[in-house]
């Protein structure tokens, strides 16, 4: 129905030839048929409902706890594809951290004229309270979610960086568990890189950024806004898997610049806080005074070096959509390397030439708010009506600095179970990158899929679903692994279904 | 353990137990109401149950007259009744969801499946012939939850606070169910068919009719029924059994949390001691109602003291 960008690259069936990573899967789909898979899909739904893997929507009436649609056909990457992505992700996250350390410190990149000063320093995402302060370990984005899209066999682009509180890793892990239960047979026919150690890697990473005074066993907690937050399931899941306390703001207090939690045995000191609360709500004394979610005095304790926060407050300046076009430049500036992962070409409406181009080509472009998440405030030009385009044109003229635009990419597709059978649907990929003393990833990430035919919007708030993401060893890699024993490299990934208000 | 986590576990235990207790009480009352003529007026039975479960004032606010249908609806499906089954299941599940990390998968599934299924029910589920089946289901879900907790939880503070909630609620329930039928235990109460049915109903409502025979091998009498529910250590729902476990559990919590003790420990010890030394003839002679009212008040105070000491987050 809707016009799919001309030649979307199908990851299984490119130009009529089954690509090697999907060889087994294609045979399996042929042999299994839609009805049997539909049965599996229903089983998966019961499973998710029972475990309570839901995201909460308390604003729209109806069932407050919804399931994110899960597609039972996995998305498959080869080990070689993943390894290249992994290198690119590590490089990008290192550059983003160097950028944060720089703009809250010496500001070399601004002095060198590689990024406009006002774009950074007058940005809403720039947190003046962080000026001149170095977080424990010098790490800002302890957990990043980097959204990738694919347009061809070797063409991957970074769509956006999420450096604040990226969510969705629990879906990556639960999707794998569901697949293991539903299709044990398929797993024996593939050599699939495991992901279930993500929580351990996360805990190790969080411990590694503990302040100096924390001792050998730093106390780590997960700070949640509470059960009414859309991503609460994920918060409790991660705390549970790591075996740490899940706390709300009111469970913590600050005394003598130290953070404590209220326990049945009295106050207990806290060293590292994996916070899933936005900067604005962290501390009513430092930020929004009306925040009931935060902990009064937390920023003071943080700046005294007595507690670590993941991610660092102010990290959002690195994933600002207006800053995004400069990330390749950051890679060159800080690391002296050429970027392995490309940006999507981006027009900044603030610039006159860019703006003219955008206004003249609205029917071909995707226009986004420079600040915003969840697929809201977005215009997909080719699918929009004349009125919607006119409306956006007026908005762009009124506040050009608020908008960026990108070409409509022909996002790759993966076979997906639909009412009419298997059909190609567009996907993206959110790998999760952990950064403490080292960079860690688990192979793969969260694949989000636009379930509506032709749709390019994968957000779960906009009709998106998720798939399990497999990184399969190819034949030669298998051989060498078998012969050479376990030669595992440290890699981690996960992706969030950004269904979540308040989270990226 | 986080104070808030302990609080949620404690109330999870209480609400889950409460839902089961209301179902038990309702089943016993339903039976009494069916036999009402000529033993008693059916209305009295329903009023007694509403009072025993603390649901009577709310009911009166919303309902002009007392009918079986209205009382059953209020106690089962009406989530506006904080002492009813619906609110119990809702609140248990809400607490469970908040502290999922402290529960085992089996506990979570027990409570979550109950909640999912309960939400699918419409009012036909409690009509006519389907009511007993519904009440059995609620009771069995509470048993499943308690079994999952007992069989799968580590014996740490999570278990202790959840269990503490369960037994404190159970003690309260036993005291109330007995209290509401206290006239049948008065010295001047005749050993007639009507009172006999009352004693039976008390036993039924704590699932102890068979247990009575196993313990006494004798006819029901007010003294024996009261003794079983108040003072016999063998009956897990007797006040003595409940408070013994309340005291033991609070002791274990104190031990696991640095040895500090407070008013709640003293109160629990005092309640347990009072029952251990109690004698049923003395209690009946002085008046069962006064005795039970005292227990119910002390139980409420104990709940508050536990809250103060452990659950509300003592300030440094």
Please list the rounded mean pLDDT of every run of 10 residues in chain B (316 residues). Answer: 94 96 90 67 81 88 88 93 94 92 91 94 88 94 96 95 97 92 86 85 89 89 95 96 97 94 96 95 94 95 95 70
Q: A265 with A401, same domain?
A: no
Query: Taking the CB of residue A36, how many other CB atoms lie within 10 A of it?
Result: 10
Domain with residue A382: its CATH number is: 3.30.1490.270
Predicted confidence at residue A55, as pLDDT, reads: 67
Chain B hits for A224, CB-CB cut-off 8 Å, are: none
**Both B249 and B187 in a single domain?**
yes
Are residues B125 and B196 both part of a single domain?
Answer: no
Q: Indicate the SS3 state at residue A403.
A: strand
Residue A236, chain B, CB below 8 Å: the answer is yes
DSSP letters spanning A27-85: HHHHHHHHHHHHHHHHHHHHHHHHHT--EE--SSSS-SEEPPPEEEEEEEEEHHHHHHH
**Cβ(A406)–Cβ(A426) under 8 Å?**
no
Is some CB atom of chain B closer than 8 A to the CB atom of A52? yes
- Burial category of A487 from C-beta neighbours within 10 Å (exposed 0-12, middle 13-18, buried 19 and up): exposed
Distance, CA of B169 to CA of A8 (rounded, Å):
62
CB pairs below 8 Å between A and B: how many? 68
Determine the residue among A239, A250, A264, A273 to mutate to test chain B binding: the one whose Cβ has the most chain B Cβ atoms within 10 Å.
Answer: A264
> In this structure, are residues A415 and A72 in contact, taking their beta carbons and an 8 Å threshold?
no
Q: How far apart are CA B204 and CA B201, in angstroms?
A: 5
A52 with B112: Cβ contact below 8 A:
yes
Q: C-alpha distances in angstroms, A469 versus A17, A435, B288?
A: 21, 22, 67
How confident is the model at residue B101, as a pLDDT?
Answer: 81
Residues A96 and A26 in one domain: yes
How far apart are the CA of A233 and the nearest CA of chain B, in angstroms? 9
Q: Do A238 and A327 fall into the same domain?
A: yes
Pair (B169, B268) in one structural domain: yes
Locate tokens 């590694």: which residue? A208
Residue B262's φ and ψ, nearest 5 degrees, are -140, -165
Given A387, A408, A429, which residue is the final one in a domain? A408
User: Is A260's Cβ below 8 Å from some Cβ in B?
Assistant: yes
Cα–Cα distance list, A121 to A104, A117, A327, B281 (Å): 9, 6, 16, 83
CA-based R_g, chain B, Å: 19
Exposure of A290 by Cβ count < 10 A (0-12 exposed, 13-18 middle, 19+ buried)?
exposed
Contact partners, residue B133, CB within 8 Å, separation at least 6 = none
**A35 lies in the same domain as A77:** yes
Residue of B nearest to A54 (CA): B97
Closest alpha carbon to A290 in A256, A324, A260, A249: A249
| Cβ-based neighbours of B89, under 8 Å, separated by 6 or more | B15, B19, B114, B115, B118
In three-state secondary structure terms, B312 is coil
Q: Is B30:B132 a contact under the CB 8 Å cutoff?
A: yes
Q: Which of B127, B153, B179 is the last residue of a domain?
A: B153
Whole-angstrom distance, CA of residue A77 vs CA of residue A470: 6
Of B128, B153, B178, the last residue of a domain is B153
- Whether the upstream peptide bond of residue A154 has omega within 30° of 0, thus cis, is no
Residues B163 and B195 reside in one and the same domain: yes
Interface residue of A243, A265, A267, A293 to substitute, partner B, most B CBs within 10 Å: A265
Last residue of a domain, one of B153, B179, B194: B153
How is residue A191 annotated by DSSP?
Answer: -
**Residue A489: inside a domain, yes or no?**
no
Co-location of A432 and A363 in the same domain: no
Q: Output DSSP code: residue A231.
A: T
Residue A256 in any domain: the answer is: yes
CB pair distance less than 8 Å for B5 and A266 = no
In terms of domains, do B146 and B41 share one?
yes
A332 lies in the same domain as A378: no
For chain A, the straight-line distance linking the first and the last C-alpha, in angstroms and rounded, comes to 30
- Same domain (yes/no): A97, A201: yes
Say if residue A385 is in the same domain as residue A441.
no
Over chain A (504 residues), the average pLDDT of each successive run of 10 is 61 88 91 89 85 63 72 95 96 97 97 94 92 92 96 93 94 92 86 91 95 92 91 90 92 96 93 96 90 92 96 95 93 97 91 91 87 64 88 89 87 90 93 95 94 80 86 59 38 41 52
CB B71 within 8 A of CB B50: yes
ipTM of the assembly? 0.73
Q: How far apart are CA B215 and CA B224, in angstroms?
A: 10
User: Do residues B160 and B253 lie in contact, with contact meaning Cβ atoms separated by under 8 Å?
Assistant: yes
> Tokens representing A370?
């420079």
Dihedral sign, Cα of residue A338, residue A341, residue A347, residue A350: negative
Condensed to tens digits (0 to 9), the pLDDT of residues A418-477 reads: 888 889 999 999 999 999 989 999 999 999 999 888 887 777 667 789 999 999 986 544
Torsion-angle region of residue A434: left (phi > 0), alpha (psi -120 to 50) or beta?
beta
Distance CA A120, CA A130 (A): 13
Per the structure, how many domains does chain B have? 2
> Which pLDDT score, from 0 to 100, does residue B312 have?
86
Percent helix, strand and coil across chain B, each to the nearest 5: 80, 0, 20
CA distance A336 to chain B (A): 45
Residue B28, domain extent: 1-153
Q: Examine the domain organization and report whether A423 and A375 are in the same domain.
A: no
Sequence-separated (6 or more) residues with CB below 8 Å from residue B140:
none
CB burial of B198-232 (b: ≥16 within 10 Å; e: otherwise) equals: bbbbbbbbbbbbebbeeeeeeebebebbbbbbbbb
Range of the domain at A34: 13-344+409-484
Count the neighbouring beta carbons within 10 Å of the beta carbon of residue A88. 20
pLDDT at A470: 96
Cα separation, A344 vs A150, in Å, equals 11
Q: With beta carbons under 8 A apart, name residues in chain B contacting A52.
A: 97, 100, 108, 112
pTM of the model: 0.80
User: Which two structure tokens, joined as six digits, stand for A417?
Assistant: 């179970």
């Amino acid at each position: 129905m809707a016009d799919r960008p001309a030649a979307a690259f199908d990851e299984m069936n490119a130009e009529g030839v089954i690509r090697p990573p999907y060889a087994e899967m294609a045979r399996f789909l042929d042999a299994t048929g839609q009805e049997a898979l539909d049965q599996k899909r229903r089983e998966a739904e019961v499973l998710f409902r029972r475990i309570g893997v839901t995201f909460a929507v308390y604003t729209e009436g109806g069932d407050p706890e919804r399931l994110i649609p899960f597609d039972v056909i996995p998305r498959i990457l080869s080990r070689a594809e993943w390894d290249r992505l992994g290198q690119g992700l590590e490089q990008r996250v290192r550059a983003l951290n160097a950028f944060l350390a720089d703009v809250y410190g010496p500001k070399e990149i601004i002095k060198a004229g590689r990024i406009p000063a006002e774009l950074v320093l007058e940005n809403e995402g720039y947190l003046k309270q962080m000026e001149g302060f170095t977080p424990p370990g010098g790490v800002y984005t302890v957990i990043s979610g980097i959204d990738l899209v694919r347009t061809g066999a070797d063409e991957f682009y970074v769509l956006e960086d999420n450096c604040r509180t990226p969510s969705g890793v629990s879906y990556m892990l639960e999707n794998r568990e569901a697949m293991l239960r539903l299709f044990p047979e398929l797993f024996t026919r593939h050599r699939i890189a495991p992901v279930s150690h993500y929580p351990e890697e996360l805990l190790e990473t969080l411990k590694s950024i503990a302040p100096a005074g924390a001792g050998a066993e730093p106390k780590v907690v997960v700070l949640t806004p509470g059960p009414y937050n859309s991503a609460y399931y994920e918060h409790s899941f991660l705390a549970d898997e790591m075996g740490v306390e899940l706390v709300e703001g009111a469970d913590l207090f600050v005394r003598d610049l130290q953070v404590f939690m209220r326990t049945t045995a009295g106050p207990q000191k806290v060293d590292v806080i994996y916070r899933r609360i936005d900067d604005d709500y962290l501390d009513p004394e430092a930020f929004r005074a009306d925040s009931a979610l935060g902990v009064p005095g937390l920023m003071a304790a943080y700046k005294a070096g007595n507690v670590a926060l993941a991610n660092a407050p102010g990290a959002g300046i690195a994933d600002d959509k207006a800053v995004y076009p400069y990330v390749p430049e950051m890679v060159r500036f800080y690391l002296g390397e050429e970027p392995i992962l490309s940006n999507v070409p981006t027009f900044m409406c603030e610039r006159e030439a860019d703006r003219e181009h955008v206004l003249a080509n609205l029917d071909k472009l995707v226009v986004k708010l420079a600040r915003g998440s969840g697929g809201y405030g977005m215009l997909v030009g080719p699918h929009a009506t004349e009125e919607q385009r006119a409306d956006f044109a007026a908005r762009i003229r009124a506040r050009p600095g608020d908008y960026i635009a990108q070409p409509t990419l022909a996002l790759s597709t993966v076979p997906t179970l639909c009412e009419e059978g298997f059909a190609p649907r567009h996907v993206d990929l959110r790998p999760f990158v952990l950064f403490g003393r080292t960079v860690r990833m688990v192979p793969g990430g969260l694949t989000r899929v636009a379930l509506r035919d032709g749709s390019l919007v994968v957000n779960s708030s906009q009709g998106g679903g998720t798939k399990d993401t497999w990184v399969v060893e190819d034949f030669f890699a298998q051989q060498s692994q078998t012969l050479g024993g376990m030669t595992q490299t440290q890699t981690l990934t996960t992706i969030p279904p950004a269904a979540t208000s308040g989270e990226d | 353990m986080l104070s808030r986590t302990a609080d949620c576990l404690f109330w999870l235990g209480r609400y889950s137990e409460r839902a089961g207790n209301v179902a038990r009480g309702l089943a016993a009352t339903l039976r009494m109401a069916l036999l009402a003529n000529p033993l008693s007026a059916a209305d009295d039975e329903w009023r007694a149950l509403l009072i025993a479960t603390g649901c009577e004032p709310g009911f009166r606010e919303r309902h002009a007259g007392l009918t079986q249908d209205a009382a059953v609806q209020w106690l089962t499906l009406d989530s506006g009744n904080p002492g009813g089954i619906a609110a119990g299941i809702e609140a248990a599940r809400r607490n469970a969801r908040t502290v999922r990390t402290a529960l085992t998968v089996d506990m979570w599934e027990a409570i979550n499946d109950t909640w999912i299924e309960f939400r699918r029910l419409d009012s036909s589920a409690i009509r006519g012939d389907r009511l007993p089946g519904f009440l059995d289901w609620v009771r069995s879900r509470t048993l499943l939850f308690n079994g999952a907790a007992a069989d799968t939880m580590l014996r740490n503070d999570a278990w202790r606070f959840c269990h503490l909630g369960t037994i404190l609620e159970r003690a309260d329930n036993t005291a109330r169910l007995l209290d509401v039928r206290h006239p049948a235990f008065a010295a001047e109460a005749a050993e007639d068919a009507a009172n006999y049915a009352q004693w039976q109903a008390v036993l039924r409502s704590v699932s102890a009719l068979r247990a009575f025979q196993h313990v006494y091998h004798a006819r029901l009498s007010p003294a024996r029924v009261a003794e079983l529910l108040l003072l016999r250590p063998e009956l897990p729902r007797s006040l003595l059994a409940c408070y013994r476990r309340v005291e033991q559990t609070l002791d274990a919590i104190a031990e696991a949390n640095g040895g500090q003790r407070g008013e709640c420990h003293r109160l629990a010890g005092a309640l347990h001691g009072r029952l251990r030394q109690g004698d049923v003839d003395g209690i009946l002679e002085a008046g069962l109602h006064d005795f039970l009212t005292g227990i119910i008040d002390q139980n409420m105070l104990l709940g508050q003291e536990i809250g103060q000491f452990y659950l509300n987050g003592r300030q440094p």
